[in-house]
Structure 1
Amino acid sequence: MTIERSTKILAGIFTVSGVIHLVRPQAYEPIMPAWVPAHREVIIGSGVAEIALAAGLLAPSTRRLSGWGSVALLAAVYPANVKMATDAAARGNKPLAAAAVARLPLQWPMLKSALKAARG
């Protein structure tokens, strides 16, 4: 069973992002919504989840489950991405706001790849 190119790309994105979450969790703290408890622990946990999902996406026996897990993770972190964009705009940081807003639609191809893996 071959791995779709989009699944490999998603696994790569999750791996890189997961490592950054573990190595530099403080980079993610400013974008955490206030209603999320234990910011540092959630950041570390999401990094571990991203790495685990990346590995699962690459293994045929766990690809479907990891695809659904990837869908859930992408949905769960979307509010933080929206918060990053709105905070940057509110602070008047035009370059960061532009980058953050431009990043939001990039979540959709990732979601599409995760759904493709989940559906087999």
Structure 2
Amino acid sequence: MVRNLYGVLLFGAGILHFVKEKAFMSIIPKSWPFRRLMVQLSGVVEVVFGAMLLLNKGTSFVKRTLPAFFIAVFPANINMAVKPSRIGGKVIPKWITWGRLPLQWVLIKGVKKI
């Protein structure tokens, strides 16, 4: 069940990287180069990891590498919390952007249960 939950979440989030690319680019610090490429690559990783989990293929690889991926994208989550973020022209409430930060650690710990 946990494997499928992670699979759906990752696959869906990965697709959103392409559907809402500008929104994802907006949470990466503007001073960083290759922001669009980072969004696209992280989207591909999420789609592939999600598909692997849903198909129950390469699960041990995903379990070993997913925590590092979550840590790699954490700076964008911090930037999203520190700077006002908008999705669809609406400001995301601070309680959501700050509340998302500890969720990342919950996701990392939960990988063990996949």
Inter-partner Cα distance in structure 2 for 1:27 and 1:81: 12
1:102 maps to what in 2? 99
TM-score (norm 2): 0.83
State the identity %. 28
Q: Secondary structure at the match of 2:32?
A: coil
Inter-partner Cα distance in structure 1 for 2:53 and 2:111: 9
Instruction: Identify the match of residue 86 of structure 1 among 79, 82, 87.
Output: 82
Q: Secondary structure at the match of 2:33?
A: coil
Inter-partner Cα distance in structure 1 for 2:80 and 2:22: 14
The alignment of Structure 1 onto Structure 2 pairs a total of residues equal to 110
TM-score (norm 1): 0.79
Deviation digits for residues 8-47 of structure 1 (CA, Å, limit 9, x no counterpart): 1111111111010011110111210345321011101110
Q: Secondary structure at the match of 1:76?
A: helix
Inter-partner Cα distance in structure 1 for 2:103 and 2:63: 17
Task: Show structure 1 runs of 5+ residues with no match.
Answer: none
The structure with the larger Rg is: 1
Instruction: Identify the match of residue 42 of structure 1 among 38, 41, 56.
Output: 38
